[in-house]
Chain A
């Protein structure tokens, strides 16, 4: 069955960087885009961007352009999301989610369990 297993909780200081990990299994990794979505405490869902693991093409929400980098390692079926220059407003749960569409982008169907990121001095 499809599984997206995300890395554990992180605590970072303002100005730091972090890299989140999302390891996929149970499907053909190269064939499905991956989305990253975050959720601040008590708030709604915010789409951050997506990556095509086959070729590494990415698309980011404008507010994250230049601060977020999404990559994929096809040899280990693992996605990475690096975020730089963290502020307290980046405190949130970060989800990776597999796209529903084969070899294209449509919408997320299956989600990882989420990683809690806390940014605090």
Chain B
């Protein structure tokens, strides 16, 4: 089973600054990786598919990169609505699908 490890667990960033979130896979997953945003009391929202393709209506300040085992989600200029928990998910070989444990992005 492929394990996804996200870092850091919590990231404190000021509005307007850049945030960089990492997701590392224990095995090769090609570019079969997605990123989700979850705000308190809400369902997750798909941000990025296939490591780097923004989902519909996702602002361009969100970008994804990486392949193989190392992936990055970058938020170029943080807005107040971006403070949330972010999860990565791999879908290269399943079952099972597996999520990372999440990175909490908080206001500094």
Look across to chain B and name the residue whose beta carbon is closest to the beta carbon of A110. Answer: B46
**Interface of chain A: mostly helix, strand, loop or mixed:** strand
Inter-subunit contact B44/A61 (CB<8 Å): no
A61-B96, A107-B49 in contact; A45/B43 too (CB < 8 A)? no
Q: Which one of A67-75, A81-89, A111-119 is at the B interface?
A: A111-119
Those of A78-105 within 8 Å (CB) of chain B: 95, 97, 100, 105
Q: Would you give the shortest CB distance from B55 to chain A, in whole angstroms?
A: 7
Q: Does B78 contact A (CB under 8 A)?
A: no
Q: Tell me, rounded to whole Å, the shortest Cβ–Cβ distance linking B31 to chain A.
A: 12
- The count of A-to-B residue pairs whose CB atoms sit within 8 angstroms is 60
Question: Does B105 touch A at the CB level, under 8 Å?
Answer: no
Most buried by A among B45, B46, B97, B102: B97
Q: Residue A95 contacts which of B43, B87, B98, B101 (CB distance < 8 angstroms)? A: B43
* Inter-chain contacts of B36 with A (CB < 8 A): 45
Evaluate contact between A60 and B46: CB separation under 8 angstroms.
no
Question: B34 at interface (Cβ–Cβ under 8 A)?
Answer: yes
What residue in chain B is nearest A100 (Cβ atoms)?
Answer: B49
B59 proximal to A (CB < 8 A): no
Q: Which of A44, A113, A114 contacts B99 (CB 8 A)?
A: A44
Give residues in A with beta carbon < 8 Å to B: 35, 37, 44-47, 49, 59-62, 95, 97, 100, 105-114
Given A62-B95, A108-B46, 16 other A-B contacts at CB below 8 A?
A44-B100, A46-B99, A47-B95, A47-B98, A49-B95, A61-B95, A95-B43, A95-B44, A97-B43, A105-B91, A107-B89, A107-B91, A109-B55, A111-B45, A112-B43, A114-B43
5 interchain pairs, CB-CB under 8 A = A44-B99, A45-B89, A95-B44, A107-B97, A108-B44
